[in-house]
Every structure is written in C-alpha cells, then in structure tokens.
Copies of this chain bind each other. A is one copy, B any other.
Amino acid sequence: MSYSIAEAARRSGLSIDTLRYYERIKLLEPPARDSAGRRAYSDEDLNWLGFLTKLRLTGMPIKSMREYASLRRHGVASAGRRKAILVEQRQSVADRIAELQGCLDILDYKIANYEHIERKALGVAPEMEGISA
C-alpha cells in the first residue's frame, strides 16, 4: 500500500508540514513519488514514522533522532551504536518518569493543602496562605 501525504499525516498524527520538514532534515528517506510527482508513503515509511513519533514523545531531540536515522541508513554495522542510543534514551525516560512522579507527590501535597483550606471554609486561619503556595 501507498499513502498520500494527507493520509500519512492522518495516520502518523503529524502535520503535512511536519512530514515535509522531517524529510528536509533527513529524518525520513524521501518517499517514492507517484506519476504526478506527489509523495507516496509506503507502509515501511509509516512504520518508521510511528517509531519516530514515539522517540519524539520521549523528548528525544531531533538532533539525536537524525543521528539514529543516519545510522539506520548505514545498515547492520551500525546496530551497536543504535542500540546504545536507545539504551541511553531508555534511561533518560526512566529518569524523567521518576522526576514526574516526584512532582506528582508535591502536587498532591499542595492539593491536599487546598482541600484543608476548603474544609476550614469560613473561619479561615490563613497561615497556609502565602507561605509557599
């Protein structure tokens, strides 16, 4: 199967402009073209796009994704380096999850504080106010 740029955008969740942008910056091999010169994305293109969007979701900078994409073009010899990039990214994702978890705890604490204030509704003792919230 092959897909128009609009269809590829729909399926990948990226915008049409972003697809062309990714191609320009070499994240994406230039896809095939139809007889009229329009881009025709293959299933393989879409799979790769899907993976790229996952990497983006992890917060990987485009610079690194470009490195990965470039390694991929260099075939099997680059597999070790590619794996290393993924392992490193895995770590950074795990770290980020832990960080967010910490933030969640703080938010919960603050929210509980506000609930505390609400419960004391009218006769407020405003010592909670302005201290650090």
Does more than half of chain A's interface fall in helix, strand or loop, or is it mixed?
Answer: helix
Cβ-based interface call for A15 (8 A): no
Instruction: Kindly specify which of A5-13, A20-28, A31-39, A82-90 makes contact with the partner chain.
Output: A82-90
Interchain CA distance A96-B103 in the complex, whole Å = 12
Using Cβ atoms and an 8 Å threshold, which residues of chain B touch A80?
114, 118
Q: What are the interface flags for A46-62 relative to B under an 8 Å C-beta threshold, 1 for contact and 0 otherwise?
A: 01101100110110000
Interface size class of A (residues with CB under 8 A): 35 or more
Chain multiplicity (copies): 2
Pick the contact of A133 from B51, B99, B106 — CB < 8 Å?
B51
Using Cβ atoms and an 8 Å threshold, which residues of chain B touch A51?
106, 110, 132-133
Given A51-B132, A72-B133, A79:B117 Cβ within 8 A = yes
Cβ-based interface call for A14 (8 A): no
Contact check, A44 vs B132: say whether CB atoms are below 8 A apart: yes
Interchain CA distance A44-B133 in the complex, whole Å = 10
Taking beta carbons and an 8 Å cutoff, which residues of A are in contact with B?
A: 44, 47-48, 50-51, 54-55, 57-58, 72, 75-76, 79-80, 82-83, 86-87, 89-90, 93-94, 96-97, 99-101, 103-104, 106-108, 110-111, 114-115, 117-118, 124, 126, 129-133
